[in-house]
Chain A
Amino acid sequence: MSLRRRSFIGHAETGRAGTRPYGAWLLTLSAAAFILAAVLLLAPAGAQAQESPLHPTFPLLDTEGGNVITSGAPISTLKTCGSCHDSAFITEHDMHAALWSAEAAAWDPLTYGQRARQGDEINCFLCHSGDANNAARLEALAAGEIAWANTATLIVEPVEALIPAEAGEASPEATAEAEVPAEPAAAAPAGIVVATEFGYAYNPDAFAADGSLKPEYVNIQDPRSDACGSCHGQVHVQTQTPLALSVCDDSQTRTFTTGQVVSPQRISSSGANVSDRDTLARPWDIHAERVLNCVDCHYSVNNPVYTTNTPSGDLEHLTFDPRRLDFGEYLERPSHQFANGSEGSPSCTNCHDASVSHTWLPYLERHTSALACESCHVPQLYAPALASRDWTVLTAEGSPVDTCRGIDGGIASPPDSPAAALITGYQPTLLQDVDADGSSALSPYNLVTVSYWVAGDTAQPVELDAVRAAYLDGDAYTADVLAAFDSDADGALSSAELMLDSSAKTDLIAARLAGQGITGARISAEIVPYPIHHGVIGGSYATRDCQACHQEDSRITAAFPLGAASGGATPTLAEDSGVRWNGSVGADGEGLLTFQPETQTPAAQLYIFGRDSQQVIDLLGVLILLGTSLGVTAHASLRVITARRRAKQGGQAHHGVQREYMYSIYERQWHWLQTAVIFGLTFTGLVIHRPQYFSALSFAWMVDLHNVLALILVINAALSLFYHLASGEIKQFIPRPYGFFDQAIQQALFYLRGIFRGDPHPFEKTRDHKMNPLQQMTYFGILNVLLPLQIITGALMWGAQQFPALTNLLGGLPFLAPFHTLIAWLFVTFIIAHIYLTTTGHEPLAGIKAMVGGYDEVETPETGAATSIKPSAETGD
């Protein structure tokens, strides 16, 4: 039990050295240790906060600049904090203030535009007080006590203890602190402010005689992560108390929309009912585990500790400019523009060098340019996230009807309590997140289907009050709504009944809206992407199996289930949402909506090896290959049959043969090296092309191997070219123009006719003239067309990493890769034909033997009709 543990530490620190704990002494000491431990443990929950280590004491001022302890007026943060900090500057630059200012709050279907700021001053305490009470602040705002909202933030007691019971039940457990079991409210108020039944009051004990706060009540500090979490989502930095997972709680914004949870706790030791929890020894978020706070990444951009943007600007010879804000200047005017994805950017690469940690990953730059780090490092969200929000129907409280994903393996209504559902989490979909410079990388997103009523030509959202009036009379459904929706006639509408699943219901509500003067009301539904940047995990748990993406069932193109839109409409993809929609909305086998990502859309321009292929090319390749194989087989069969027949008829005697040194050592060496390399390339290429058939082989290693083999091939080809040029052997490959076609026809006729008759070969094969005209033609094609093309396309594909601009200029992977595949098919076809033709010598294995040993046995010109193709030969024409 943690209290006892604490007592041990406390005891060790305080009691052991030199004391003589006789009985009662010991008990007293340990009791003191217990209390100390309890205080330490519960400090974040309230009680007496520890004093700020640095911040001086200060008076609390009202809007007139008077001390609140005398005026009793609400605290003005602008005046109070502004007496030292430049509150005008901060207000002007503060990102939170800007986001919340009424003019900037664009209509957000998630909140139905209920987000505008309510005129309260910028609330310094909410972030900078060590024990800010957001629940009390929200209570004040809800009660219309706008001016008191900031003051209420300083109430230390749990809000439930201070406000009437009804309100307490209604208030969401918004703060992370609320999870910690609180001590019963102490007799003396612990905080600066107390809520009484007569309103807010100041605790005189908190103030010194000069009207300043006593030091122990000054608890001003850097924003703690849980302070951020009280508005942004679930943050749980306590390691001693198990995290109680927020499930579909819309006060935990980011957790609600995406399932991101920031906590150092292992999922296995948290209090969440997560499927297979015991096996999930990973923390909810590795950065939280590694003791990073929110503000470590989301720092104020003029914080001199973090700032890299310095007056040196773009001077390349300067890596650091010491002429920067000093701390005093910063503390007076912290900009409060926080580094985030678009501003100042806490990008992963600010801290991490992927090239050091990803040495196992081929094509690192290609991966990191096409994929955000989060794509692999947030493989799965372990908390549920919103799937759909339907504003076209309203609960009796006037709230929309939600469904969440990641519950019981799919999309379901929010459970009655977090423990009532088995949390299965979900795999986010990957969308192209477009940066300011137009570049885009696949990043994880949750997609939320939002439905709401619109009216008018411009499809303006219908006022929520009007929708409320359409359903509700006060806090009860109107009779006709109840009649239309209450299918089980129990007088209440369940989430299953709250659904516009018939035109009768839709028409009824449209009519009731029309009754309020809103004509042409109709349902609009859109899919809103919510980006995911937290809940990050390190390498051990990240996606690192290549075949997660590089195979047919690629994770990148996995269909993402969508929440249903109201009235069964097909929702549209939200525009201007910062993403490039690389996919489309469709339906899965059961008619449920899915988002189907695609790779080779004009916008996406992705070609995922192992997954993407041009079926036409593969089909063509297979056909050519099969055709060649069939032809070869037929030809060989005929040869065998005719040879037997000739043998039976007594046939002709063998043509006389003579041994001739045909292939030099180098020729043989480069040939066989090339053979081995080409076989290797063909096989590794096949694995890369269709990895699902070779799942035992490491995809990454195959890619690597393919590249190295290609390098050997290119070097071997280049050396061979040099040899042939330097030695003049190249002549053998170049067909002589004179009589070429006649000779070619003559050779073709031999293969088609003479070979079956046992005719001698039409041309003499000699050291200097190894190739017949057909061979010359073929090799000319292979070596001058196919091989260079394959090398060029391959190099360009490799260049997608090294010189992406050139690769993209020449068609990019979506063009180059299928082209490379096509040539590979042709190569394989050639190899089959080539191997077969080696058997057409005077005996089947003679050609191969010659290429091994160098000596060929060729028909002697005297005995056969072979015609020399030497220029001097008498060919008869």
Chain B
Amino acid sequence: MRDFRYLWLVGLLITVGVIAIPVGLLTLDPPPAAADPWDHVPERVPATDHSTLLEGPFESGSDVTRACLECHEDAAEQVSHTSHFTWLSEPVLLEGRDEPVQIGKANLINNFCIGVQSNWTGCTRCHAGYGWSDASYDFTDSENVDCLVCHDQSGGYVKGTSGLPAEGVDLLTAAQSVGTPTRLNCGGCHFNGGGGNAVKHGDLDESLYYPAESVDVHMGRYDFLCVDCHQTEDHVIGGRSTTSSASEDRQIACTDCHEPTLHADARINEHTDTVACQTCHIPTTATRYETKVSWDWSQAGQDREEDPHEYLKIKGEFLYEGDVVPSYAWFNGQVERYLLGDAIDPAAVTVLNPVQGGIDDAGSLIYPFKIHDAQQPYDTVFNILLQPNTVGELGYWTTFDWDSALQRGAEAAGIPYSGQYDFAATRMYWVQSHMVVPAERALTCTDCHGENSRMDWRALGYPGDPLEWGGRDLPQVIADDSAQIAQAATPVDAEGGS
């Protein structure tokens, strides 16, 4: 041993070890390195300049699509299977139904403009394709795919009736400008859902084109594009709707990038088992533009003073609200869905998309919702909601004749119509996930707890403010009672869906 030449190396290792091990074990833990949410944000690929690649001339939208397909051979094939084009989901087994069904904008009704069927020419202005004007539309023709609506960066591309380029659009300029879809591309349709700016979603409106950080921290402070979160692969765009799609595939979550327990404050981290991020981080929505909270179709057709935010003869009466404090409900990600032909109880409020969950469902969190109520036509004999034809020369918006509009709509939608109709109350739940404000503007304790609470704790199934009565994991003091309350309070109970 004495003569082992590198014995000193062993000694050095021992010395280092004898020091490093106790130091590692005994010194205080350094604060754990926080996971960096930017790791999950995709790097944007710089767009190729197409101005020299495309020479035109383009007579129609399909001409442009053909030109795109010369290089991007698979693109139209990819797009033609996405819900942006089909307006239908893959077949899914819905809660309370035996057979998987394909659902989507193409065959559902909502409680805004009600439904697409028979109204294609008006609705398909926002279809990512060309020429969908009736039920016979060819979804397999790749030249029907509209590349420009998502990729135009000239700002001059506008769609008109049946999704065709509007009169006077410079297709060549639009085609040469193509690039990564920006907020303007997505917002053109999604910020105008329901027929106009801010009408439908509450958390999506034109204030998000160029938002202040106080409106949306991701897009305002960090200049996010929609597709930074709605990440896209082969034209399949991440994210889902809770109103027209029941599939949880491609669900996006805050926790895709953010640790749920990232708060420095342990008390706040305690909440993440019960409360969705959105609940605290989206204190109000419709912060810049008022959103529609109620639509009464039964009042349509009168010659009254019109105001787009109060009354239109073609649509009826509206209520709009700004800076909307959301309604809160348990939600586990699943929704039921009212399908055409489902019976309703006209005396009750029919919830078109009952969100699933409850205090006793461990997978449920409290989420913020915008609630939209409506009075919309139903068949008093068959007790089913009706699909009116509104668009077109024979549609209600021209004739103001409900009977013929409902007749035409029913034929197009393939549902019976007895000729007897009235208006029934319906409700939709719109989960609020955008307009996330900076952490320093998120809700604080007193917004939900204590005297000035915005939460109706008993309606959520708690015996009282969980700050005093304990959370859902604690033994409920009045368990039986609270269970009943939960049943009564969660939107599921409206029984419109099945």
Contacts and interface: CB of A to CB of B under 8 A. Distances in A.
Contacts of B454: 9
Interface string B445-456: 111011110101
B324 A23 contact: no
Interface string A521-562: 000000000000000001110000000000000000000000
B324 A8 contact: yes
Nearest to B298: A22
A539 B445 CA distance: 16
12 contacts: A1-B322, A18-B348, A23-B296, A30-B319, A264-B445, A266-B440, A289-B446, A291-B450, A673-B18, A701-B27, A704-B28, A711-B26
Given A4-B322, A18-B347, A701-B30, A676 B425 contact: no
Contacts of A707: 26
B287 to A, nearest CB: 11
Given A672-B11, A709-B19, A8 B440 contact: no
Interface string B335-372: 00000000000011100000000000000000000010
B14 interface: yes
B323 interface: yes
A673 B15 contact: yes
Contacts of B319: 26, 30
Interface in A12-30: 12-13, 16-23, 26, 30
B152 interface: no
B318 to A, nearest CB: 10
B451 A17 contact: no
Nearest to B16: A676
B293 interface: yes
A482 B467 CA distance: 61
Interface string B22-34: 1100111111000
Interface string B83-94: 000000000000
Contacts of B27: 701, 704-705, 708
Interface stretch (A156-164, A233-241, A419-427): A233-241
A506 interface: no
A634 interface: no
A348 to B, nearest CB: 16
A9 B28 CA distance: 49
Interface of B: 1-2, 7-8, 11-12, 14-16, 18-19, 22-23, 26-31, 264-267, 284, 293-294, 296, 298-299, 317, 319, 321-325, 327, 347-349, 371, 373, 375, 423, 425, 427, 439-441, 444-447, 449-452, 454, 456, 467
Contact of B28 (A7, A240, A357, A362): A362
Contacts of B451: 237
Given A12-B327, A281-B440, A676-B19, A23 B317 contact: yes
A852 interface: yes
Contacts of B425: 16, 18-20
Contact of A8 (B15, B23, B30, B325): B325
A665 B1 contact: yes
A42 B493 CA distance: 34
B22 A708 contact: yes
A712 interface: yes
Contacts of B293: 8
A700 B28 contact: yes
Contacts of A30: 319
B22 A17 contact: no
Interface string A246-272: 000000000000000000101011000
A16 B491 CA distance: 12
Interface of A: 1, 4-5, 7-9, 12-13, 16-23, 26, 30, 237-240, 264, 266, 268-269, 281, 283, 288-291, 357, 359-360, 362, 538-540, 661, 665, 668-669, 672-673, 676-677, 680, 698, 700-701, 704-705, 707-709, 711-712, 716, 852-854
Contacts of A698: 30
Contact of B439 (A281, A283, A539): A281
Contacts of B321: 4, 7-8
* Chain B interface, DSSP helix/strand/loop, else mixed: mixed
B456 A359 contact: no
A801 to B, nearest CB: 14
Nearest to A852: B8
A18, A20, A668, most chain B CB atoms within 10 A: A20
A680 B444 CA distance: 46
Given A9-B454, A26-B296, A704-B28, 16 more contacts: A5-B323, A8-B321, A9-B456, A18-B348, A18-B349, A21-B373, A264-B445, A283-B444, A538-B265, A539-B264, A540-B264, A540-B265, A669-B14, A676-B16, A709-B19, A716-B18
A22 B299 contact: yes
A695 to B, nearest CB: 17
Contacts of B375: 20-22
Given A291-B467, A712-B18, A852-B8, A360 B28 contact: yes
Nearest to A701: B27
A700 B349 CA distance: 62
A359 B18 contact: no
A237 B446 contact: yes
Given A12-B371, A26-B317, A672-B11, A268 B30 contact: no
Nearest to A704: B27
Contacts of B373: 16, 21
A711 B22 contact: yes
A185 B317 CA distance: 35
Contacts of A21: 294, 296, 373, 375
A708 B296 CA distance: 74
B371 to A, nearest CB: 7
Given A266-B440, A665-B1, A672 B15 contact: yes
Contacts of A268: 440
Given A20-B375, A22-B299, A673-B18, A4 B449 contact: no
Contacts of B347: 18
A657 to B, nearest CB: 19
Given A8-B321, A22-B299, A30-B319, A712 B22 contact: yes
B139 to A, nearest CB: 38
B446 A291 contact: yes
Contact of A669 (B11, B298, B325, B371): B11
Q: Which of A5, A7, A360 has the most CB of B within 10 A?
A: A5
Contacts of A266: 440, 444
Contacts of A18: 347-349, 425
A707 B26 CA distance: 9
A2 to B, nearest CB: 8
